[in-house]
Structure 1
Amino acid sequence: MSQDRLEKLNQLPLRENLRGISPYGAPQINVPIQLNVNENTHPMPQVVVEAITEAVREAASGLNRYPDREFVALRQDLARYLGHGLEEENLWAANGSNEVLQQILQAFGGPGRSLLSFPPTYSMYPLLASGTTTDYLAGYRDADYSLSAESASQQVREHAPSVVFLCSPNNPTGTALDLDVVRAVYEAGESSNTMVVVDEAYAEFALEGTESALTLLPGRQRLIITRTMSKAFALAGARLGYLAAAPEVVDALRLVRLPYHLSAVTQATARAALAHSGALLENVEDIKRQRDRIVVELRAMGLVPAVSDSNFVTFGGLRQPHAVFEALLEGGVIIRDNGLPGHLRVTAGTEAENTAFLDGLRAYLAAHPDALTA
C-alpha cells in the first residue's frame, strides 16, 4: 500500500486493533510454474468437471430462490465422507476454512477473550483474531519448530485462552502433531473452558500411520476439527471449508453465520466433488509421491527438508533464502518465502513442475557453492 493510501486509511475511524496491520496476501505473480500457495496443481479429472458442470446447471434453474440455509444434503455427504461415526448434526460448512475459523472466533472469541496459537504457523490466525477483536497470544515452539504435549499444555494453563488453534499438519512446517498434544491441550483447557480447534486443512496428504484428531471427538465437547475442500479436492476456487464437532458447537455457529451464507452453486459444486472423491483422491496419492520425491532430492542437494504430512515441503539450510527465491522466480518458478530464517517452502506440483523446480534449485546451488549453511 502506498504512503498516500495508508494516510487516507488512517483518516477513517478504523478500529484501533486494525491499525498498522497488513492484510493476508501471498504474492500473485503470473509465472509458468506456481508452487507457492499450496494449491492442488493436478488437473481436475474430466469426470469431476462434467459432474460439477451438470450439478451447477441444475442449481442455476433455481437461483431465483434462496439456497437451503441448513445445507442438509451437503452436511450428510460430508459426514459420510469423514466417517468416524459422524452424522449430519456434527458437521458445519462455510466459504472456505478461513470463514469456518472466523465463525468459531465470532462465537467463542471476541472482546475480552483470547486466541492462542503457536508460531510459526498459519499466518491468518492473528488476522482472524484482529477481525473479531479477539486478543491474540503467540505461543512458542521448540528450536526445531516442534510442539510437545508438555510445552503446549503448560502454555494453555499459563494463559487460560478462550480458544486454541492447533494446525496439524502445521503450515508452514508441514509436520503433523502427535495426538498426545491435542489430548494434553484439551485437558489443560478444562479449567478455563477453552475451545480447542485442530486445523486439518491438509489431512488427506498425511503420511501412513498419521492419525486424525477426528478419532478424539467422542466425549470432547470443546474439540473442533476443521477441514477444507481446497486442497485434496482441488476446489480452491470454489471456497468450501467445514468442521466436525459436537452438535451444540454447530448450534453455536448458527448464532453468528450470515443468512444463506453458502450459495446453491457452492453446495452443488461440493456435493458433486464428494460424489467423485475416489477420482480426486487418486490425484492426492500422486501428489504424495511427488512430495516424497522432493524430500529425497532436496536431501541429496545437502538441504534439510522437514518431515511433511502435507502437499508442500519446507526446507532449510540456506544462507540467503530470498536470493534463492528470486533466482527461481526469474527462471519462471515461484515458491514461498515465509520469512522463516534459512528456509523456503514449495508446493508439491506435477512431475514436470517439480522437475523444473528441482533443476532450477540444483543449478543455483551449483553456481553458488556457498549458498548452504553447512
Structure 2
Amino acid sequence: MTIAAPRTGPARLHLSENAHGASPLALLAARKALDPAAVYPDPARSAPAKAVAARLGVGEQQVAVANGSDELVLLSALALGDRDRPGVTTAGTFPGYRVCLTAVGRRCEEIPLDDGRVDADAVAAAMERAGIVYLCHPHNPSGAVLDRGRMDLLVERAAVTGTPLVVDEAYLEFAPAGTPQLRDYLGSGAPLLSLRTFSKAYGLAALRLGYAVGSAELVARLHEVQGTMPFSANAVAQAAAVAALADRDHLDEVRRQNSLQRAWFRSELARRGRRSLPSATNFVAVAVSDSAVAERLLAQDHDILVRDAGRFGFAGHLRVSLGPAKDLVRLMDALDLIDPVR
C-alpha cells in the first residue's frame, strides 16, 4: 500500500487523518449508494449495526450507530447518568466532552493528567461523586494508553458506583495488540460505553459515521434520544462502513504502515534532538518551546498545518498527524528553523 495521493494546498498534519486512505471496497460501496439519492437512509442503521455486532461479537441491541462519535458524545451527555452530579473527564484532552456536557446544562469537572497520562486512581476516586465519566483511550493528544490494571480499576469503580463510564476509543485500531479495550469488560455488569469511529483507521472522515458499543441498557437510552434525528447517518456512510469492516486486509495494512511510520518519525525526531511522547495512535505529540507560536509560524511561513495541543490544555506540544514522509520531513526541517533544539 502507498500513502494516498496528497491534496493540493498545505501539508495537512493537524486533524489525525488517515494518510493511507479508505478501503477501495468502501469507496465502491459509497458510490453505489449514491444511486437512490432521493431515498431517505435507514433510520435504524441496521446494516452497519449488524456488521459492527458481528465483528465485535456482541448483540445488535448493544450497538448504536451515529453521525460520527461526536454525535454519540452529545447523545450520552443528554441521556446517561445523574444530571445533578458533575460529568468528569480529564484536563488536557479532547474538548468535546466538556463542550457537550456544558451545552446540555451539566457541570464538568476535569481531573489533571499524570505526566501526560490519565490518572486512573484520581478518576476512580471521582466516580463516587460523578454523574458520568468520559475518558479518551488512547489519549488525545498525548497518544498514551492505560495498562490492564488501571483499566480494571476504572471498570470496577464504575460497577460499584453505577456511574456510566464512556471511553472514547477513536484511535484504538492503531494501538498495539493487547491494549485494553472496553469490549473486554462488557460482561462485567458495569455501565460501560465504548465510542468508535470510521474516521481514523478506516479513512472515512468525510462521510461521518461512528458507533457506540456497550451495555444494552445504556445503548437503549441513546436510541431514545437519537429518535429526535432519525436520519443523521446518511446512506453513503452506512454502505461504506459495512464494506470497510469487511475489508480486513486493508485495515491490517493501514495498521502496519502506521506503525512503521510512527517508529520512523519518532526516531528521526530523536536523531535531531527533539523530544516526542510515545504514541499508540496515528499522531505523535512533539515537544516545542511554545506550541501556540509554533502552530502559527508553521502555517504562516511554511504552509504546514499542525495542532497546538495547548488548545486541549496540553501546552508545549504539537499534535502531528502521521502524514506522508515528505510532509513530516518538511515539518521537522521547519521546526529546526523556528524552534531550534538547545
Residue in structure 2 matching 1:348, options 297, 301, 322: 322
Question: Structure 1 residue 319: deviation in Å?
Answer: 2.4
**TM-score, scaled relative to structure 2:** 0.88
- Alignment partners' CA distance in 1, 2:175 and 2:11: 24
- Alignment partners' CA distance in 2, 1:350 and 1:72: 36
User: Who is 1:88 aligned against?
Assistant: 60
Structure scoring higher RCO (CA < 8 A, sep ≥ 6) equals: 2
User: Who is 2:257 aligned against?
Assistant: 286
User: Who is 1:322 aligned against?
Assistant: 292
User: Who is 2:51 aligned against?
Assistant: 77
Question: Structure 1 residue 102: deviation in Å?
Answer: 0.9
User: Who is 1:101 aligned against?
Assistant: 73
Question: Structure 1 residue 191: deviation in Å?
Answer: 5.1
Question: Structure 1 residue 243: deviation in Å?
Answer: 1.0
Matches within 5 A, 1:35-50: 35-50=13-28
Over residues 328-350 of structure 1, what are the superposed CA-to-partner deviations in whole Å (9 max), with x where a residue is unaligned?
A: 22112111112233221101112
Matches within 5 A, 1:136-155: 136-142=108-114, 144-155=115-126
**1:94 counterpart letter in structure 2:** A
Matches within 5 A, 1:251-266: 251-257=220-226, 258=228, 259-266=230-237
- Alignment partners' CA distance in 1, 2:142 and 2:118: 11
CA gap of 1:186–1:86, structure 2 versus 1, over 3 A, is same
What is the RMSD of the two structures over their aligned residues, measured on CA atoms? 2.2
**TM-score, scaled relative to structure 1:** 0.81
Over residues 215-248 of structure 1, what are the superposed CA-to-partner deviations in whole Å (9 max), with x where a residue is unaligned?
A: 1111234011110000011111111010111222
- Alignment partners' CA distance in 2, 1:315 and 1:56: 41
**2:138 counterpart letter in structure 1:** P
Could you list the runs of 4 or more consecutive aligned residues of structure 1 that deviate by over 6 angstroms after TM superposition?
Answer: none
Over residues 178-229 of structure 1, what are the superposed CA-to-partner deviations in whole Å (9 max), with x where a residue is unaligned?
A: 2333332233344542000111000011024323221111123401111000
Question: Structure 1 residue 35: deviation in Å?
Answer: 0.3
Report if the CA contact (8 A) 2:194-2:213 is conserved. Answer: yes
Residue in structure 2 matching 1:360, options 327, 334, 339: 334
Number of residue pairs matched by the alignment: 329
User: Who is 1:4 aligned against?
Assistant: none
Matches within 5 A, 1:1-374: 31-57=9-35, 59-60=36-37, 63-64=38-39, 66-81=40-55, 83=56, 85-109=57-81, 111-142=83-114, 144-157=115-128, 160-190=129-159, 192-257=161-226, 258=228, 259-316=230-287, 318-329=288-299, 330-339=301-310, 340-364=314-338, 368=340, 371-372=341-342
Q: Which has the larger radius of gyration?
A: 1
- Alignment partners' CA distance in 2, 1:341 and 1:287: 25
- Alignment partners' CA distance in 1, 2:83 and 2:167: 22
Q: What runs of 5+ residues in structure 2 fail to find an aligned partner?
A: 1-7
SS in 1 for 2:332: helix
**1:284 counterpart letter in structure 2:** R
Report if the CA contact (8 A) 2:51-2:242 is conserved. Answer: yes
